[in-house]
Structure 1
């Protein structure tokens, strides 16, 4: 029987996901400049011609991956700016990071990808580069505000909220890089370890 329109769309989406997964891995581990389209196609297990049906250029592929990462950062900002308990919000976020880090490499690759686009301006146009920078600043500010709320409620340890937010994200970013370097030897710190300098111990 001939395939239905829905089946073709499912196959198309599956191929795009394979391409994106391969590209994230290669961009993060080799860098944008050292990764070519053939490498991505080989890792995805498809032909270069099929890859070009989905993405016209390597730059377009990179920029779509960065756009995907940006949407994730926006969701984190919205979460932290909600009126839920600061402890609950932070714990939920750290639990998700922990789960993603122990179950695969996608989060680590995405974090490295964002850094590449910021530090090297890799493949991103000036508008997207500015957007990533502003979103990172907003995320830091919303996290610092979350920490201040937690401190006012007596749930978080005292200290400069902005410095604590910087240390928090610096730790996660550093762990992402170490995970990619150490591979199977990497051991992800527990959620309680990640939040020990932020949350007060419960009596």
Structure 2
């Protein structure tokens, strides 16, 4: 029986997911320059011909992965602008980060991939590079506003909100790099450790 259009689309999406996972793993662990399309095809368990049916070049695949990561940052900005209490929002966000770091490497790889793209594009700024800078700045601003709101409500410790936001993301980025470097010996700090510099003691998360 011939496959339906929906079945073909499902197969196509499954193949792209394999390619994405393989490419992220290789770009992070080997570097973009040291990874070739044959490496990606072999890691994904597909033929190089099938890979080329989805992506014409390695650069196209890399840029699509970075776009995917940037969309995740945009969702975080919208999340931080919701009406829940700042402490609830940040606590849930940190819980998600903790779970993702403990259960897999996708978030870790996406964070490192964005970093790679920013450093690679620093010398020759592109439209994508400029978008990453803008979205990162917006995320930092949204987080700083959230911290100020939490300070006003008595949920967060006092301090410069922007400095605290920078420290928070620097910590998460550093943990992503440590997880890749240390592998099985990596120990993920608990959510309470990640938020100890932010949350005031004795304030419940509702």
Query: 1:168: Cα distance to partner?
Result: 0.2
Tell me what 1:148 maps to.
148
Q: Deviations over 1:123-152 (max 9, x none)?
A: x97111000001001101110110000000
Q: Count residues in correspondence.
A: 202
Which residue of the partner structure matches residue 190 of structure 1?
Answer: 190
Task: Tell me the distance in 1 between the aligned counterparts of 2:155 and 2:99.
Answer: 24
Cα distance in 2 for partners of 1:190, 1:156 equals 18
Q: Please, what TM-score do these two structures have when normalized by structure 2?
A: 0.95
Structure 1 residue 157 displacement after superposition = 0.4
Residues 51-89 of structure 1: CA deviation (Å, up to 9, x unaligned): 000011111100100000011000000111222200010
Question: Equivalent residues in 2 for 1:121-132 (5 A)?
Answer: 121=121, 126-132=126-132
Name the counterpart of 2:171.
171
What corresponds to 1:16 in structure 2? 16
Unmatched 5+ stretches in structure 1: none
Measured in 1, the distance between the counterparts of 2:112 and 2:101 equals 13
**Superposition deviation, residue 182 in structure 1:** 1.1
Following TM superposition, by how much is the alpha carbon of 1:4 offset from its aligned partner in structure 2, in angstroms? 2.0
**Alpha-carbon separation, structure 2, partners of 1:202 and 1:46:** 54
Q: What corresponds to 1:34 in structure 2?
A: 34
Instruction: After superposition, give the CA deviation of every residue in 1:144-196 in whole Å (9 maximum; x if it has no partner).
Output: 11000000000000111111000000000000000011111111111111000
- 1:30-66: CA deviations, max 9, x gaps? 1111111011001001111000000111111001000
2: CA distance between counterparts of 1:193 and 1:73?
Answer: 23
Secondary structure at the residue paired with 1:181? helix
SS at match of 1:196: coil
2:87 is aligned with 1:87: yes
Counting only pairs closer than 5 Å after superposition, residues 2-151 of structure 1 correspond to structure 2 as 2-121=2-121, 126-151=126-151
**Aligned residue number for residue 158 of structure 1:** 158
